[in-house]
Every structure is written in structure tokens, then in C-alpha cells.
Amino acid sequence: MIILYRIYQIFVMLPLLVALTIICATATVAGCALGGGRWWGYYPASLWGRLWCILAFVKVEVRGRENINKATSYVFVANHQGAYDIFSIYGYLRHDFRWMMKQSLRRIPFVGFSCAVSGQVFVDNSSPSAIRHTMQAAEKQLSKGRSVVVFPEGARTPDGRLHAFKRGAYTLAVEFGLPVVPITIDGAYRVMPRTAWLPRPGRIILTIHRPIEAGHDGHDLRPLMQASRDAIASALPGEQ
């Protein structure tokens, strides 16, 4: 069966996904250029993420959707198990957001340019002025009622386990007093770890935890980081 699946991936799934990626990126750029950035900057990519899962026979289950409100801006923080974290969140979170992503992703053909046009926030830590620019770009998106999604581990886990969180993701929440929503991703490592070139069929569970609200004096950075990490860990199997 695995041989048939690989044949399907190479000759059917991958050509379809390449075509869909080009179509999605082109539609996003055109729609945003015509002034429809709010709709075109999110919904084509959301459909694209869902199709990446469907065509790879990856089922995504979402738990805890009742914990968030579509009209509220959040800083979503999630563990980073593999490439399908992106597709599952894009396709199934159903909340208008922009990513905080690495600068290197700008160089991906079609995708990088469409990300820039649609308002994704490229993180640049090269200098204090660059960090300030990143914060301003994120603030611009949040001021429009959108949310942001960040992987505070920074990179995909090499072994399937939850690793240390970096503080950068949380400075936005501290700066603007926004609620932080932890999201646990379980199953994406088995679907496609960072060492794999092709996915395998599987099931991904997205658990949306209750928001961590800012107190009267705002957020306290370190307790906020620990509370969100504990929430994410609580919905992972023990070995992770």
C-alpha cells in the first residue's frame, strides 16, 4: 500500500499541490492589489492549507474552538512538530490571522511574495531597528482586528518532543496587553517530521486552549511563557 501511496503522491498529489500553490499565490497577490486584502489575504491560503491536508489523506480534528471569539485579536502560540502544522492551522483554525515567520521564507517562489503582499509579518532580529520594524508590522495587523500565530520554539522539533520557548513571541502580547491562546498540535510529527520529504496519511489534533488574559498590570513575561507552555504540554502524549 505504501508503494501505491508514494506513486499517488509523486504523480497526482504533488503536481496538484504545485498548481494549487501557484493559483493561490496569484489570487492572493491580485486580490490584495485590488484592495481586498482582508479577504484575499486569508481565505485563499486557508483553502490551500485544507487541500494540502485532504490530498495527503491527513485528517484534522479541532478541539476547543469554543474558547476563542472571531471578533477578538489574539496572539496564538503553538508547538512546532512539522510542516503540516502550517497547513492544519491555516486550513482549520478558522480565525483571521497573519503569521510571524522567518525572513528566509521571503525567498520561496510565488509564496514569499504573496506572503509579503498579504501582510504576513517577517521577523528580523538582526538589529534593534529591525526588531522595531517587526513589532510595528505586527501592530499594524493587530490594529485591524486580526490575530497573529507564532511558533515560540522557533523551528520544527527534531525529535517530536516539546522544546524550549523563545520570548520573542510573547513581547507582542506584553506590549499590547493581548490575550495569548496556546494551541497544541499533536500528530503532525508522525505525518511529516523535518527529516521527511513526503507526508504519510495520519491524524492531527489541534487543541485550542483557553486564552491567557492580561491582568490589571498587563502580562508578566516569564509566568506567561510558562503558563502557555504548560497548557500546550497538557494535551500532548507523555513521551512528547
Taking the CA atoms of 97, 102, 105 and 106 in sequence, report the sign of the dihedral they define.
Answer: positive
Q: Which residues, at least 6 apart from 102, have a Cβ–Cβ distance to it below 8 Å?
A: 122, 123
The SS3 assignment for 40 reads helix
The pLDDT tens digits along the chain (240 residues) read: 788 999 999 999 999 999 999 999 999 999 999 988 889 999 999 999 999 999 999 999 999 999 999 999 999 999 999 999 999 999 999 999 999 988 888 888 888 999 999 999 998 877 777 778 888 888 888 878 899 999 999 999 999 999 999 988 798 899 889 999 999 999 999 999 999 999 999 999 999 999 999 987 889 999 999 999 999 999 999 767
pLDDT of residue 25: 95
Q: Which residues, at least 6 apart from 201, have a Cβ–Cβ distance to it below 8 Å?
A: 5, 56, 57, 58, 191
Residue 95 dihedral angles phi and psi, to the nearest 5°: -145, 125
pLDDT of residue 134: 84
Beta-bridged to residue 181, according to DSSP, are: 76
pLDDT of residue 110: 82
Q: What is the pTM of this model?
A: 0.93
Q: Sheet holding 97-102: strands in order across? A: 58-63, 202-208, 180-186, 75-78, 147-150, 97-102, 121-123
pLDDT of residue 9: 96
Q: Which residues, at least 6 apart from 173, have a Cβ–Cβ distance to it below 8 Å?
A: 75, 179, 180, 214, 219, 224
pLDDT of residue 215: 85
pLDDT of residue 239: 64
